[in-house]
């Protein structure tokens, strides 16, 4: 493991004004999103959709530090024969890869899951490195409900994250460590904070046991938000204060940066929350975004699978990338959002 190189990549992933595009939807997930806009999901339509984002030059160069890819995408070529990985690199962004096999039911724990995919991971990481990936992603899912999460669930997912992270660093790949506490349900912001703190403390304990170098990782946590069904929602300032408070108690200063997931928030909500946190300041890590739907919902709708709509899709993507780039520096305002749209 070359820690200096891993740290250099991690720092680039959270560079000021830039963040990560999560374009790693599985074939089944992107099919659902294409259904919503009336587009058949084929290898060609999936390629065309992702290609127009990767060719949005200003957005990629100025605001997107890295792109998380799916196994299909990292092997695909653009219409002109250029590997999609090369398009990302030419824009000055870093290619990454999703390596987990998804969340599966945890035995004897109704409503809980554990993420699988460790079998054969060493070999897959070596192949992905040859294909151009310099960082990877593994998502653990923690749900809040009656009697859950259990310690068994949090511990099992934390151990898997740590084993994955160690294998990544062994292969010269920066691991994105993603423990996501879901925002489904009716819990309040305090319960989200409690479960997130528990989860993060267990994750960092397991990273220590696995001898993972914190200088060579990027953390991708949820923000501290109430459940979608909670009768009491929270302002952007309340979310920001609660999130920073929890992370200060859990995340060592050695971690280069935090790239938040949007977790089902609307695109503007995710931007507003990130901006509010960065305006508060006073934390040791860089804080940016690693968004999927919050970056892609508007471009998907504008594109709608029609070649003549590619410029409109690119404009929508560039706008969302710029707004989140500004938010990562605490420079976004709602007035700017509406002005630039």
Domain boundaries, the chain: 3-340
Given the residues 98, 137, 220, 286, select the one marked as catalytic.
220
How large is the average pLDDT for residues 112-122?
98
**pLDDT band at residue 235 under the 50/70/90 scheme:** very high
Q: Tell me, yes or no, if 178 is annotated catalytic.
A: yes
220 given a catalytic annotation: yes
- CA–CA dist 5, 203 (Å, integer): 23
pLDDT above 90: percentage of residues in the chain: 96
Nearest Cα to 330, choosing from 256, 264, 254, 274?
A: 274
Report pLDDT digits (tens) over 70-99: 999 999 999 999 999 999 999 999 999 999
Residue 334 pLDDT: 76
- Round to whole Å and give the CA distance between 307 and 48: 9
Tell which residue, 337, 335, 14, 60, has the closest CA to residue 174.
Answer: 14
User: What are the tens digits of pLDDT across the range 295-339?
Assistant: 999 999 999 999 999 999 999 999 999 999 999 999 998 767 876
Sign of the Cα torsion 291, 293, 299, 300 reads positive
Q: Which of 25, 178, 180, 202 is catalytic?
A: 178
Mean pLDDT of 167-180: 98
Residue 73, by phi and psi: left (phi above 0), alpha (psi -120 to 50) or beta? Answer: alpha
Secondary element (H or E) of residue 286: strand 286-291
Q: Which CATH number fits domain 3-340: 3.20.20.70, 3.40.640.10, 1.10.1660.10, 3.30.390.50?
A: 3.20.20.70
Contacts (Cβ under 8 Å, ≥6 apart) of 208: none
pLDDT of residue 1: 66
* Residue 100, token pair as written in the block: 């987990």
């Amino acid at each position: 493991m070359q820690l200096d190189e891993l740290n250099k990549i991690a720092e680039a992933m959270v560079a000021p004004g830039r963040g990560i595009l999560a374009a790693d939807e599985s074939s089944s997930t992107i099919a659902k999103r294409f259904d919503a806009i009336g587009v058949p999901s084929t290898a060609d339509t999936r390629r065309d959709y992702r290609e127009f984002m990767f060719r949005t030059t200003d957005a990629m160069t100025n605001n997107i530090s890295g792109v998380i890819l799916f196994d299909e995408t990292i092997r695909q070529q653009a219409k002109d024969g250029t590997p999609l990985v090369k398009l990302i690199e030419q824009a000055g962004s870093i290619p990454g890869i999703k390596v987990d096999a998804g969340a599966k039911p945890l035995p004897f724990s109704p409503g809980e899951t554990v993420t699988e995919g460790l079998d054969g991971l060493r070999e897959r990481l070596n192949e992905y490195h040859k294909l151009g990936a310099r960082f990877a992603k593994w998502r653990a899912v923690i749900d809040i409900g009656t009697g859950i999460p259990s310690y068994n669930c949090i511990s099992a997912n934390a151990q898997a994250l740590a084993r994955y992270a160690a294998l990544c660093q062994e292969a010269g790949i920066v691991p994105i460590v993603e423990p996501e506490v879901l925002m489904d349900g009716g819990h309040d912001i305090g319960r989200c904070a409690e479960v997130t703190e528990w989860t993060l403390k267990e994750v960092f304990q397991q990273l220590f046991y696995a001898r993972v170098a914190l200088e060579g990782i990027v953390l991708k946590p949820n923000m501290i938000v109430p459940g979608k069904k909670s009768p009491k929602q929270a302002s952007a300032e309340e979310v920001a204060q609660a999130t920073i408070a929890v992370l200060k108690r859990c995340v060592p200063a050695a971690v280069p940066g935090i790239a938040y997931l949007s977790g089902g928030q609307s695109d503007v909500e995710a931007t507003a929350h990130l901006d509010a946190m960065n305006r508060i300041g006073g934390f040791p890590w860089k804080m940016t975004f690693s968004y999927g739907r919050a970056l892609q919902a508007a471009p998907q709708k504008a594109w709608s699978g029609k070649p003549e709509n590619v410029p409109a899709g690119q404009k929508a993507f560039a706008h969302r990338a710029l707004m989140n780039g500004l938010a990562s520096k605490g420079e976004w305002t709602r007035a700017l959002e509406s002005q630039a749209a």
